[in-house]
């Protein structure tokens, strides 16, 4: 059985496990105040070219979205997201759980269209009754999106400019940020992200770590007492070293980018195989998640030999499925898949 089910099916990149073992007996203070956390923060800020920024480590993606969003919104504000955004659909109401509405706007290929965002904000403030509505207090986007698609630098600049014009922060969910930035389709660096966003996170869980996400506030704009806010949401790890050591390793010798490049290379191989076999793609994704439309019968045959993700029904006879690659995907996995198709 080979698996392309998701990018979190395997453990951590071996270098991470090795570092955890090497440092295991060291006595370190808790809650992120250890030297590995500090070192990881510095390396991340250097990579992002925002030396005065803040970095805070959290455990998982939904948690990160909830804690960041609630810490940055005011009481009467909600967060704008694409209708297909992870916070809109697949987080079991974690944002609403903090008391804030997700203000859904239409999407295209999983992305917010800058013009639609402008229209939303313009209409909101144009509405006489807007004091009876949820104020838009932040824009949330994921990059890559839930569909594996990417914003262009131009699109992100436009969205960033709209946010600046309306004085609301732009938050980028980078659960799979590495895959986005090393993709051939990318015209951005992580420094561009840091420049254009007010807060974003660099995903660890889906890019080779056991767990962990690094939230970056590029302009020393971390909300006051963010640690307390994190604690209050059950998001503060006692052995903070677990996150610090992992991110320190990921941002040493380009490991984060190497892992990302490997997964993208595997994804390109995967695409090539599906293309050769004449499979249809649900959309063109330049990152590590590929959405394929399979005949239901063929899907069921394949399921006996390969694990992949169910996405949604396409029509009565077809299903959209998701294949994902990660640090653990191998050439042999691809070869086996090719033979099976």
Both structure tokens of 318: 């077809």
Q: Measured from the CB of residue 92, what is the shortest distance to a second copy in angstroms? A: 4
Among 229, 260, 319, 325, indicate the residue that binds a second copy (CB under 8 A). Answer: 229
Binding of residue 224 to a second copy (CB under 8 A)? yes
d(CA 201, CA 207): 12
Strand partners, 81: 104
Quick check: 168 binds a second copy (CB under 8 A)?
A: no
Quick one: which of 8, 140, 201, 308 contacts a second copy (CB under 8 A)?
8
> For a second copy, which stretch binds (CB under 8 A), given 9-17, 163-171, 267-275, 285-293?
9-17
Q: Is 106 in the site for a second copy (CB under 8 A)?
A: no
Judged by CB under 8 A, does residue 94 bind a second copy? yes
Q: Is 300 in the site for a second copy (CB under 8 A)?
A: no
Q: What does residue 99 show for φ and ψ, rounded to 5 degrees?
A: 95, 5
Q: Which pair of tokens denotes residue 8?
A: 């979190």
Q: Which DSSP letter does residue 279 get?
A: P
Is residue 235 near a second copy by the rule CB under 8 A? yes
Q: Of 70 and 288, which CB lies nearer to a second copy in the complex structure?
A: 70
- Judge contact between 82 and 104, C-beta under 8 A: yes
Nearer to a second copy, 1 or 316 (CB): 1
CB nearer to a second copy: give 211 or 293.
Answer: 211
- Would you give the distance in Å from CA 38 to the centre of its chain? 23
Q: Measured between alpha carbons, how far is 209 from 128 in angstroms, rounded to an integer?
A: 49
Closest distance to a second copy from the beta carbon of 67 (Å): 7
One of 63, 118, 189, 296 touching a second copy (CB under 8 A): 63
- In whole angstroms, how close is the CB of 326 to a second copy at the nearest point? 10
Site size for a second copy (CB under 8 A): 85
Out of 122, 225, 298, 300, the residue judged to bind a second copy by CB under 8 A: 225
> Which x/- pattern over 305-324 shows residues binding a second copy (rule: CB under 8 A)?
--x--x-x------------
In the bound state with a second copy, the residue whose beta carbon lies nearer, of 53 and 204, is 204
Kindly state whether residue 242 participates in binding a second copy, applying the rule CB under 8 A: yes
- Contact between 113 and a second copy per CB under 8 A: no
Confirm if 153 and 187 have CB atoms less than 8 A apart.
Answer: yes
Query: Which residues does residue 310 pair with via DSSP β-bridges, in sequence order?
Result: 321
Residue 255 binding a second copy, by CB under 8 A: no
Q: Which stretch binds a second copy (CB under 8 A): 68-76, 114-122, 150-158, 273-281?
A: 68-76
Residue 145 token pair: 């999106």
Closest approach of a second copy to the CB of residue 313, in Å: 8
CA-based nearest residue to 81, from 94, 152, 249: 94
Which residue, 258, 190, 191, 205, is CA-closest to 58? 205
End-to-end CA distance of the chain: 14
What span, in angstroms and rounded, lies between the C-alpha atoms of 256 and 291? 24
Should residue 221 be labelled a site residue for a second copy when binding is judged by CB under 8 A? no
Q: Binding residue for a second copy (CB under 8 A) from 81, 236, 264, 266?
A: 236
Please identify which residue in 39, 161, 191, 210 interacts with a second copy, judged by CB under 8 A.
210
- Rounded Cα distance between 331 and 168, Å, is 45
Put residue 83 in one of left, alpha, beta given phi > 0 → left and psi -120 to 50 → alpha.
alpha
Closest CA to 194 of 334, 336, 308, 44: 44
**Phi, psi values for residue 238, rounded to 5°:** -65, -55
Min separation Cβ 68 and a second copy, Å: 11
């Amino acid at each position: 059985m080979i698996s392309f089910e998701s990018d979190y099916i395997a453990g951590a990149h071996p270098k991470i496990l090795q570092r955890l073992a090497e440092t295991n007996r060291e006595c370190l203070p808790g809650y992120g105040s250890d030297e590995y956390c500090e070192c990881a923060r510095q390396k991340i800020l250097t990579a992002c070219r925002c030396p005065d920024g803040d970095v805070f480590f959290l455990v998982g993606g939904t948690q990160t979205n909830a804690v960041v969003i609630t810490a940055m919104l005011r009481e009467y504000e909600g967060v704008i997201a694409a209708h297909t955004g992870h916070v809109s659909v697949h987080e079991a109401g974690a944002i609403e759980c903090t008391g804030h509405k997700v203000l859904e706007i239409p999407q295209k290929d999983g992305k917010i269209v800058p013009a639609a965002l402008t229209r939303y904000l313009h209409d909101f403030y144009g509405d006489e009754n807007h004091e009876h509505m949820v104020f838009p207090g932040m824009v949330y986007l994921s990059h890559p999106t839930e569909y594996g698609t990417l914003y262009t630098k131009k699109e992100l600049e436009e969205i960033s400019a709209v946010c600046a014009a309306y004085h609301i922060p732009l938050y980028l969910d980078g659960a799979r940020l590495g895959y986005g930035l090393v993709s051939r389709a990318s015209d951005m660096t992580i420094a561009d992200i840091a420049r254009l966003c007010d807060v974003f996170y660099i995903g660890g869980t889906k890019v080779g770590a056991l767990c962990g996400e690094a939230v970056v506030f590029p302009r020393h704009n971390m909300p006051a007492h963010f640690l307390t806010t994190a604690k209050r949401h059950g998001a503060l790890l006692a052995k903070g070293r677990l996150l610090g050591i992992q991110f320190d390793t990921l941002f040493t010798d380009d490991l984060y980018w190497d892992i990302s490049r490997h997964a993208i290379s595997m994804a390109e191989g995967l695409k090539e195989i599906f293309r050769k076999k004449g499979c249809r793609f649900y959309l063109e994704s330049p990152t590590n998640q590929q959405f394929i439309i399979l005949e239901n019968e063929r899907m069921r045959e394949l399921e006996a030999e390969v694990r992949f993700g169910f996405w949604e029904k396409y029509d009565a006879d077809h299903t959209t499925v998701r294949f994902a690659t990660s640090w653990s995907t191998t050439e042999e996995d691809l070869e086996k898949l090719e033979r099976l198709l």
